[in-house]
Structure 1
Amino acid sequence: MAFGNLRHNLDFLSTLKGVVALLRDPNQTESVYDIEDGLRHIKATELAVEFVKSKPGVAELFQERYLAPSVNIEALLQLPQESLGHAYASYIKDSGFDPNFFRPLKVEDDASYFLLRMRQTHDIWHIVAGFGTDVFGELGLKAFELAQTHRTMSAVLIAGGLLSTLFKHPEELDNLLNQIAIGYRLGTKAKPFLAKKWEENWERPLLEWRQELGVEPAKEYVP
């Protein structure tokens, strides 16, 4: 019992530290992982795992523990321009991102697999769903994720984004609420993104992916 209470307290402190740092600077990516690491063992994360595994095709990936190898951006740029791989590589290169930027996580159970797979495919979700990388775009995607997965971090970041906007940019509240509403609506209508092995079908046209998944992109990324 004492160990459980200690872990709970440490998780709470990690979450609180991440939220405070993120409110100060929304571009602090490491703070996002502090939040999620602190939420990993709570009941809501357990329920989120149960929720996503109930979706068609997702439980099989959990059983397989499917994780894609590191991507070769230059090789993906050689694919046809209409392909997901080319769109992804162009997005990564134009933005100056590192495709392996995410904090690593040892897969020990369903929860850790869920979090790692979400981190690994974050930018793919951005492209297919059509959300930008500014603060509003990120929060729109978080609303999309919340609808699709009930991911605990998504809910916390949305709440933090609303709080930050109320204090720092209250004139933008309507725009933010609209973006969150768009993301959540798109997420409820689309088929499960988490069920897809995107990396095994880089050459497939982005438009075909969207049609299969029932996605009307919020803001289409143009390489």
Structure 2
Amino acid sequence: MADYSYLMSGITSVATDSSALVSSSRYLNDPRVRDWVATHMLRRNGPDVPTPSDSIQLVQILREVQDLDHINALLAAERRQNPAFDQWFREGFVSTFQVDDLAHYAPDTVGGLFHAQLVDKNMQIDIVPPFEPQSDFEYFQLRAGQTHDFEHLLGGGGFDFIGELVPYYMRLANLFVHLSPELAGELSAFSILGSSRIITRAVLHYPQTWLVTLDALERGATVGRHSEPIYMMRYEDVFDLPLDAAREKLGIRRVREADTATASAQWR
């Protein structure tokens, strides 16, 4: 047999009195996270488990696994040194528009295009039911849910499974550009796990879609690296503008659109 001792050197057994699996990672320690990762990184797609259900399960798990007090402390520290970030929280803007409120916008505007998506695909405005945020982190999450579909639209990500990688990687890059690394990491736990399930499934089960998948990742990361803080953008202010004008006003840059619907259809 091949001798891999060089590559395996340095491994140390750590003694413990624990009767259960324990590590220095809160994510590895939690059996729900381990099960989610094993299941959704490795499974094929199927109608018995619709893909949107993957992400809401992950959200619910992370609420209990992450240290929310620590995240709120990091947010408070960022607010003290970032006046624009602090002002965003002070304003606390929350969307209240409904589908019918978008009906009067011209077809080529942000409002008109989003209205068409909602009607044609029978989508709901609120990915997560509205709630009254009780902390900075809860407000951050609320706005992330309210703006997600606009990040698809303005970032050039199709409203399909592979297209999800565009807004995922917009945020994964953008948060680290504009916020402290520790805070960006805590705010990105959902995105890195949620996006990775798409990447691993493409390679393991749908390799014919891999180059389209990789391109979506790269397009999202490029937009995130070069754009203003995406997480603070108020898309509701540009409903009346065409996409290019809205992107310019908001500071969304380096958008390159591509078809992901054709490849996503092969995942069903």
Q: Same fold (TM over 0.5)?
A: yes
**One-letter amino acid of the structure 1 residue matched with residue 201 of structure 2:** S
Which whole-Å CA distance do the structure 1 matches of 2:244 and 2:169 have between them? Answer: 22
Larger radius of gyration: 2
Which whole-Å CA distance do the structure 1 matches of 2:199 and 2:190 have between them? Answer: 14
CA contact (8 A) 2:166 2:220 kept: yes
CA contact (8 A) 1:18 1:35 kept: yes
Which whole-Å CA distance do the structure 1 matches of 2:86 and 2:104 have between them? Answer: 33
**2:163 corresponds to 1:126:** no
Unaligned runs of 5+ in 1: none
TM-superposed deviation, 1:155? 0.7
Q: CA RMSD in A?
A: 3.3
**2:219 corresponds to 1:186:** no
Match of 1:156 among 186, 193, 196: 193
CA contact (8 A) 1:131 1:218 kept: no
TM-superposed deviation, 1:201? 4.2
**2:191 corresponds to 1:167:** no
1:33 matched to which residue of 2?
56
TM-superposed deviation, 1:200? 4.1
TM-superposed deviation, 1:122? 0.9
Which whole-Å CA distance do the structure 1 matches of 2:170 and 2:203 have between them? Answer: 22
1:42 matched to which residue of 2?
66
Q: Deviation digits for residues 191-211 of structure 1, max 9, x if unmatched?
A: 112222222442233322211
**2:8 corresponds to 1:12:** no
Which whole-Å CA distance do the structure 2 matches of 1:15 and 1:67 have between them? Answer: 30
**2:116 corresponds to 1:98:** no
1:83 matched to which residue of 2?
109
Q: Partner of 1:58: helix, strand, or coil?
A: helix
The 1:86–1:56 alpha-carbon spacing in structure 2 relative to 1, beyond 3 Å, is: farther
29-38 vs 114-123, which moves further: 29-38
Which whole-Å CA distance do the structure 2 matches of 1:15 and 1:107 have between them? Answer: 25
Q: What is the percent sequence identity of the aligned residues?
A: 18
**One-letter amino acid of the structure 1 residue matched with residue 120 of structure 2:** D
39-48 vs 109-118, which moves further: 39-48
CA contact (8 A) 1:81 1:87 kept: yes
Q: Partner of 1:57: helix, strand, or coil?
A: helix
Which whole-Å CA distance do the structure 1 matches of 2:134 and 2:37 have between them? Answer: 25
CA contact (8 A) 2:238 2:246 kept: no
**2:247 corresponds to 1:210:** yes
TM-score (norm. length: structure 1): 0.78
44-53 vs 83-92, which moves further: 44-53
The 1:104–1:193 alpha-carbon spacing in structure 2 relative to 1, beyond 3 Å, is: same
Which whole-Å CA distance do the structure 1 matches of 2:142 and 2:35 have between them? Answer: 21
119-128 vs 16-25, which moves further: 16-25
Q: Deviation digits for residues 22-74 of structure 1, max 9, x if unmatched?
A: 444484323212212322453699398579867773332223322111x2323
TM-superposed deviation, 1:127? 0.7
Which whole-Å CA distance do the structure 2 matches of 1:121 and 1:184 have between them? Answer: 17
2:135 matched to which residue of 1?
109
TM-superposed deviation, 1:96? 1.7
Unaligned runs of 5+ in 2: 1-21, 176-183, 260-268
Report how many residues are paired. 213
Match of 2:165 among 139, 147, 158: 139
Which whole-Å CA distance do the structure 1 matches of 2:54 and 2:129 have between them? Answer: 11
TM-score (norm. length: structure 2): 0.66
